[in-house]
Structure formats: structure tokens, C-alpha cells
Amino acid sequence: MCTEADGSATVSFWSRQRAPMLIVSAILFLPPLAAIVQLTGDTNFCGRWCPRMFFAWREGTTMAAFLMGFVRAYMGVALVAAILVTTFAFGRHWCSHLCPVASPLELGSRLIPRGLKLDFSSTPAPSFRYAYLAVYLIAPAIGLGSLCCNYCNFAAVPRLFAAPFSEGDLIYFLRFQGVINLGLLLFLGIFAKGGRAYCNLLCPVGALDAIANRLGASFGRRIRIDHDACTNCGDCAKVCPTWAIDTTDRTTIDQLSCMPCRQCQDVCQHKAISYGKPAA
């Protein structure tokens, strides 16, 4: 955490409130309550709230059918649009503070002993992520198959919470595909250091959000480094859940992976990291 001149520690409001916000989001969006999705008569993110399927074109789909997908998933469309617009201006706060499907993965990972955690930080996340996104978009368009519903965090996480109460949701996991999804959530989520490997590698919404984050980096508010104050100590890189910080030569933040969780800001002894607009 940051240290004041008098030696007292400070943690920013948005950092302090991140876990509570993630918990509230999970309660509001995920079963057993799922109050937000019940506003439209749904029980989970499948259907009107699906944020992943509408932008994946399938071979043989007519333009009318493609556009009907936007209508069918109108809440998912609105959600993704809101995420991208707010990210462009303010950074990826959806991912860091609000995403209900990331919430149990990251918070769950905090309960796992450090020795059991898997460290994926040597993987160049954007390379993996955009290869996955490319196949996610191209494979159905050329009739090669689909990653859309078969490997879906927005389908699997809500059902993970619903399964103890509902046989319909338990059935989801009693299939090979369900077991694979569960394995991915555990392997890349709860047992991953930082709990965000699934988000960082396999979430198509996160991948689009990261592009908006990168495109708006020259204008919007982002986590930034003051290179005059930075000593390249590397403390920030050690706590980054999305391994977005590179300290190889001098400390840099990859805005294609960064979300404003502010953990780096909190640990920086030199106040070299802050959230804000680019320097004039």
C-alpha cells in the first residue's frame, strides 16, 4: 500500500471498495438471487442478457437473422455497449470492480493457499487472447464450429452457483462440456494467481474491452506510471492480477491487459503509479 510521508498507509477508495463491489455484483447478477437478470424475466446470462453470442456471425446466417440476434440479446448488447463506452473514458472498471462472473474467480482465488496457485504470468496474454478471439469470430463464420456457448464463462459461473439448488443447472455440469468448463474456471480462475487468467486469456467480452481500453488510452483515465518517480523495483508487477506490468527495461503498463484494480498503486512505495488522464 502507499505510504504517506508520516509513515501512515493509504489505500484508495476504489481499491478498498473493490471486493465489496464485486460481492454485491455477484449477489445481484448470480443465482440464487439474480435480481438484475430477473428484471427482464431471465434467470441467468443466457438469452436476453447474453453478452457474447450476438457479435459472432455464423455461416449461413442472413443479415436479418444476425440483427435478430441483437434484438434477442438486447440486454447483453446494451451491457457490452455500456462496458465499451465507459472503458474508453474511464478504463476497465467493469472487469475490475463489477463483473459478476469474474468476481467469484478472483475472490475465490484469495482463499487458495499461495503454494497451490498457478502462475500464468509468463504467458503473453494478448497473443493468447486475440488468437482465441480471432477463432471465436472466424470459426463460426466459416462453418468450422463454435466456441461461443461451449466455452462460456457467462453460462458456467451462474450455473455453478445455481447447481446446488436446481437440477436443471446441475445437469449443465454432468456433461463433458460442463466438466471442461468447470475445469477451466478452476484452473484459470480460482487456482490461478490473481484469479484472472480466465478473464485475461479466454473472455471475449474482456478481449473487446481491452481493445477499447487501449484505443482510449491517449484520452481517457487509466492507471499510469510516473517514470520520474518509478525506481523499477518491480513490486507492482508482483501483485498485478492480469500481469499487465513489464519491468524488463523500465516499468511499463500494457493497456491491452490492465484493469484499474489499483493493486499496483497500493503497493508502490514511491507513489509512481496513479489513476488519471495522460500528462499534458
Partner 1 sequence: MKKLLVFILAATLSVAAAWYRHGDSAHAMGMISVKGGRALHPVLLPSGRERYTLVVTGTILPPYRGDARITVDGGPPIPVIVRGSDPIIDLGLRRRPHFKDRTLTGLKPNDRFTVWVVMQPTEPMPAGKRDITFVDTATGSPVLTIPVLFGGGEGGHHVH
Binding region for partner 1 (CB under 8 A): 31-35, 38-44, 46-48, 58, 72, 123-124, 126-132, 134-136, 139-140, 144-151, 162, 165-169, 171-172, 174-178, 180, 201
Q: How far is the CB of 210 from partner 1 (least distance, A)?
A: 15
CB of 51 to partner 1, least distance (A): 16
Which residues are CB-neighbours of 228 under 8 A, at least 6 positions away? 272
CB of 252 to partner 1, least distance (A): 15
**Which three cell numbers mark 13?**
477508495
> Smallest distance, Å, CB 85 to partner 1?
26
Q: What b/e readout covers 93-109, taking b as 16+ CB neighbours within 10 angstroms?
A: bbbbbbbbbbbbbbbeb
Tell me whether residue 75 or residue 258 sits nearer to partner 1 (CB atom): 75
Residue 168 or 278 having the CB closest to partner 1: 168
In angstroms, what is the minimal distance from the CB of 147 to partner 1? 5
Long-range contacts of 69-72 (CB under 8 A, 24+ apart): 72/47, 72/48
Dig out the grid coordinates for 114 from the structure. 499461495
Q: Which is nearer to partner 1, 90 or 132 (CB)?
A: 132
Rg (CA), the chain: 19
88, 190, 192, 232 from 187: Cα distances, Å: 30, 7, 6, 31
**Contact present, 51 and 78 (Cβ < 8 Å):** no
Least separation in angstroms between CB 214 and partner 1: 16
CA–CA separation, 131 and 109 (whole Å): 26
Which lies closer to partner 1 via its Cβ, residue 3 or residue 252?
Answer: 252
Residue 118 in contact with residue 193, Cβ under 8 Å? yes
Beta bridge partners of 118: 192
Nearer to partner 1 by Cβ, of 16 and 58: the residue is 58
- CA distance linking residue 129 with residue 203, whole number of Å: 8
Lookup result for grid cell 493457499: 113
Shortest separation between residue 131's beta carbon and partner 1, angstroms: 4
- Closer CB to partner 1, residue 162 or residue 261? 162
In the bound state with partner 1, the residue whose beta carbon lies nearer, of 112 and 135, is 135
Q: How far is the CB of 206 from partner 1 (least distance, A)?
A: 15
Q: Between residues 3 and 166, which has the closer beta carbon with respect to partner 1?
A: 166
Measured distance CA(67)–CA(79) in Å, rounded: 17
Considering only CA atoms, which of 154, 173, 189 is closest in space to residue 37?
A: 154
